[in-house]
Structure 1
Amino acid sequence: MLLDHDTCYRAVAAKDARFDGQFVTAVRTTGIYCRPSCPVPPPKARNVEFLRTAAAAQSAGYRACRRCLPDAVPGSPEWNLRADAAGRAMRLITDGVVERDGVPGLASRLGYSPRQLGRILSAELGAGPLALARAQRAHTARILTETTALGLADVAFAAGFGSVRQFNDTVRAVYGVPPSRLRAEAARRAPAHRHHTGDGGAPGALTLRLPYRSPFDPHGLLAHLDARAVPGVERVSEGTYRRTLRLPHGPAAVALDLTARPGAVVATLRASDPRDVGPAVARLRRLLDLDADPQAVDGALGTDPVLGPLVAATPGIRLAGTADPAETAVRTVLGQQISVAAARTAAARLATAHGDRLPAALRSPGDPDLLFPTPATLADGLARNPLEGPARRAESLRVLCATLASGELVLDPGRDPDALRAELQELPGIGPWTAGYLAMRVLGDPDELLASDLAVRRGAEALGLPGDEAALTARARAWAPWRSYAATRLWRAASSATTTRRTA
């Protein structure tokens, strides 16, 4: 898919950071590619070409600018909007699927042959799946090289390279210098901010910047997470969200400081296996919706006469996503038709009864240390000791867990939203609301209104909008393709109205 040369060049000439991550600028005369906001003087228009991904630039023989670090930018919001094969593939590649399952595994998840998928990605993104995965590996390798004391051989295998030689060759090709030079330059830039274990083993406390596009509303995200935080599994305090994680190669714990510095969330990750750094970053970015384009969302919703004042008062809201799709599905079914507080209590009981303790090496005093139970554990436990409460909800939860554990139902960011909704609604006790909510939380679907949701309708009524589901659905057509963000604003309006009534 071609990019408009004049539009892209205007963004580069203006050093417009809003376009960082949406394309890269490749300069023919230097052989370097940059982010649009690179601080160096813009090259002449005739000397540049614009490519959709870093992988496309690398495949064309360009190396990354070491001044602007074009790989250290928010991801393209396009991958959240697009439900086609290219968008779904990009989400899975960033989650490390190619590293774990190879290109055949990626293609199988998407319903294509490896050759078909290669043609699609090459046509849409300018690079095939191996090149896209290679760019992802290079990015992870740079992070580990610059921010940990891992030996470079350990970095190579942690980032997913098959050999040290492949690692060295790739880093040289992508960044123009060997890994040792990257490490030395990083030490000179910020020696006081390096975090490492000191023993060359698995990283104990790896601190990462997760950049985002401004504006950003951290307080709304923190309030959402705090209201639903399961004791022992997650906690919110002083602008920081802490939780345990199950990652592909082992457990982990993370602290996400949403308010420490403008332009980025600061993540402190303690992982049992350094191979999980890349997948952890991808999942945390989806959890906080950090690849969103708030200018586009707010620009569209801000023109609405009712939502406009809300957008002006609180710009840059994000959709709360998930770091663990299976956990979110279990908690969603568990919380059907009960209050948020009651759902939190029920989830805490489930976690306490069936969860695992975080390994001692990953614990930090006062932080959560309980891993939410896996679907397999819950399927077995609930079969022997059914959940207290309504029998229908207990059976729905048991079937959901069994279906997830068997692999019949797959919840990952590569799913097609409509197909996922249909599969979920085939399970007992799961209706359109639950399916839509999971599409919003698990896939980051930006256009799910959830018009049947009671809080959404109450929020609409509080703002003078129709509270009837059909009428609200009709009124909301003008908010497409950002109806999920509109629903989030309606939720907040309902909460504000409730608080006002209680304090009046």
Structure 2
Amino acid sequence: MHTDTERCVRAVRSKDARFDGWFFTAVLTTRIYCRPSCPVVPPKAENMTFLPSAAACQQAGFRACKRCRPDTSPGSPEWNARADTVARAVRLIQDGVVDRDGVPGLAARLGYSARQIERQLSAELGAGPLALARAQRAQTARVLIETTTLPMAEVAFAAGFASIRAFNDTVREVFALSPSELRARNARHGHGSEPAAPGVISLRLPFRAPLNPDNLFGHLAATAVPGVEEWRDGAYRRTLTLPYGHGIVALAPRADHIACRLLLTDPRDLTLAISSCRRLLDLDADPVAVDEQLASDPELAPLVAEGPGRRVPRTVDAAEFAVRAVLGQQVSTAAARTHAARLVTAHGVPIEDPEGGLTHLFPTPETLAGLDPEALAMPRSRRTTLTTLVAALADGSLRLGADSDWEQARAELSALPGFGPWTVESIAMRALGDPDAFLPGDLGVRRAAQDLGLPATPAALTARAAAWRPWRAYAVQYLWATGDHPINHLPG
């Protein structure tokens, strides 16, 4: 979008928050970059240039605006609506892969050379993987500076910087303040955080309005696995398995943000924890674009008007969701939770929850690969499906995650025994994040379609849903909302 100068200027002049994250405004006279909705008086059009990423702005010598804090914009929805190499690379960088494995590790995950990845990212985002990772390190550092009392040396280490000097130089260059000045300024102005207990990182996760919390948090609460997830005091809480340790997160909907409280055993996991939570809640979606497309269908339009801004509830761990999808085949939500809870109790790693309620991490495929199939209280065919899945995940022959090619993953899942269209598309929708995943054979979808006067057979409904592309996963959320199901409402 940043190449459409006229459209970008209109967005800046109208301070349109819908475009935050889509592009950034760099002001040539002040050498500052802003989000489109920056509250300051817009500069003259001839003094504005538009760039596709914060990293591109920083690489061009612009520093972040202190008023609109462009580094806290929602992510561009473009990267979660695509599965090409650039989008997959962006998602992996958001997950901190470059900090952990370097550019060669990123390239290896994608099956390209480091030079090819550099060229593709630079062409589309105006910055290569190192610059993108550096911009993200700067944002992670800012979160830790502003929301914790960690010494600056620990902040630098946790944010992924190789040295204190690199940390100081980057923070000063990006934010025009030293780390200590940034912390002092935040204390004076009270930006971005809520009071937190010792060791807890408290921050706000931005999103594009509108956001309908009922289906989003209602679904997570209704399907929560005891010991791993819970709904308590207006917040969804769960455990997280992370590269350097584990964590506990509490997520609560607010009018203009999601309140996020993180307790991490190792602060180096902050980057991945934040990106996982954003992905779980589908916070980088563009609800206006989605709803406009779906509302063009006269049968869906009333549903969109009644509850706009529905998101697709996703997952923090693609392998975990795949296991849970198999456990949920042809059984009720309550039965699926019971099966999952048994696995967690028998094979999950126990953890300490200072607030009580959460007891385990969800077991990894490597752990589950050694389980005795006869111990599973389910039909033999489903036991075979589950053990085949966890074996493929454990040995790496099946990889599900931010770097998955959606169509390739569908083909590999479909080749496993017991994986029909419902299971494959459920995983594509919630684990892989494909916004166009569709469940025409789902009983709730078919009932809703029939009630609305839409075709009820899978083939006919799929043909009708061609007009909903590429947002059919969101159409599923609207169709599900017509039924009397606990996922449609937040618990009291």
Q: TM-score, normalised by structure 2?
A: 0.96
The answer to whether the 8 Å contact 1:59/1:127 transfers is yes
Overall identity of the aligned pairs, in %:
59
- Structure 1 CA distance, aligned partners of 2:274 and 2:288? 23
Pairing partner for 1:322 from 315, 321, 325: 315
Q: Which residue in 2 is equivalent to 1:24?
A: 24
Pairing partner for 1:366 from 351, 356, 367: 356
What's the CA shift for 1:196? 6.0
- Structure 2 CA distance, aligned partners of 1:193 and 1:78? 27
What's the CA shift for 1:497? 12
Greater relative contact order structure (CA < 8 Å, 6+ sep) = 2
Q: Where does 1:121-140 land on structure 2 (aligned, <5 Å)?
A: 121-140=121-140
Matched, 1:6 2:6: yes
- Structure 1 CA distance, aligned partners of 2:333 and 2:227? 17
What's the CA shift for 1:195? 4.8
Q: Which residue in 1 is equivalent to 2:338?
A: 345
What's the CA shift for 1:139? 0.4
Q: Which residue in 2 is equivalent to 1:245?
A: 240
The one-letter code of the counterpart of 1:219 is D
Pairing partner for 2:223 from 225, 228, 244: 228
The answer to whether the 8 Å contact 2:193/2:203 transfers is no
Pairing partner for 2:269 from 276, 282, 289: 276
Structure 1 residues 219, 128: closer, same or farther in 2, change over 3 A? same
Q: Which residue in 1 is equivalent to 2:444?
A: 455
The answer to whether the 8 Å contact 1:253/1:271 transfers is yes
- Structure 1 CA distance, aligned partners of 2:194 and 2:445? 45
What's the CA shift for 1:76? 0.7
- Structure 2 CA distance, aligned partners of 1:195 and 1:247? 25
Q: Which residue in 2 is equivalent to 1:294?
A: 287
Q: Which residue in 2 is equivalent to 1:333?
A: 326
Give CA-to-partner distance per residue, 1:411-433, whole Å, 9 cap, x none: 11121110111111122222222
What's the CA shift for 1:2? 5.2
What's the CA shift for 1:353? 1.4
- Structure 2 CA distance, aligned partners of 1:186 and 1:496? 43
The answer to whether the 8 Å contact 1:148/1:194 transfers is no
Q: Which residue in 1 is equivalent to 2:476?
A: 487
- Which 4+ runs in 1 deviate beyond 4 A? 191-198, 496-499
- Structure 2 CA distance, aligned partners of 1:193 and 1:340? 35
Structure 1 residues 487, 189: closer, same or farther in 2, change over 3 A? same
SS at match of 1:177: coil
Q: Which residue in 2 is equivalent to 1:143?
A: 143
Corresponding pairs, count: 488
The one-letter code of the counterpart of 1:422 is A
Q: Where does 1:317-466 land on structure 2 (aligned, <5 Å)?
A: 317-358=310-351, 360=352, 363-382=353-372, 386-466=375-455
Q: Which residue in 2 is equivalent to 1:85?
A: 85
- Structure 1 CA distance, aligned partners of 2:266 and 2:238? 17
- Structure 2, unpaired ranges of 5+: none
The answer to whether the 8 Å contact 2:95/2:272 transfers is yes
What's the CA shift for 1:407? 1.8
The answer to whether the 8 Å contact 1:80/1:443 transfers is no
The one-letter code of the counterpart of 1:276 is D
What's the CA shift for 1:184? 0.6
- Structure 1 CA distance, aligned partners of 2:274 and 2:346? 29
RMSD (CA atoms): 1.8
- Structure 1, unpaired ranges of 5+: 199-203, 500-504
- Structure 2 CA distance, aligned partners of 1:389 and 1:415? 29
Pairing partner for 2:467 from 463, 478, 497: 478
The answer to whether the 8 Å contact 2:219/2:486 transfers is no
Q: TM-score, normalised by structure 1?
A: 0.94
The one-letter code of the counterpart of 1:271 is L
- Structure 1 CA distance, aligned partners of 2:13 and 2:191? 33
Q: Where does 1:106-121 land on structure 2 (aligned, <5 Å)?
A: 106-121=106-121
Give CA-to-partner distance per residue, 1:344-369, whole Å, 9 cap, x none: 111111111111211x3xx1333322
Q: Which residue in 2 is equivalent to 1:64?
A: 64
SS at match of 2:371: helix
SS at match of 1:371: coil
What's the CA shift for 1:494? 3.6
The answer to whether the 8 Å contact 2:25/2:36 transfers is yes
- Structure 2 CA distance, aligned partners of 1:387 and 1:180? 55
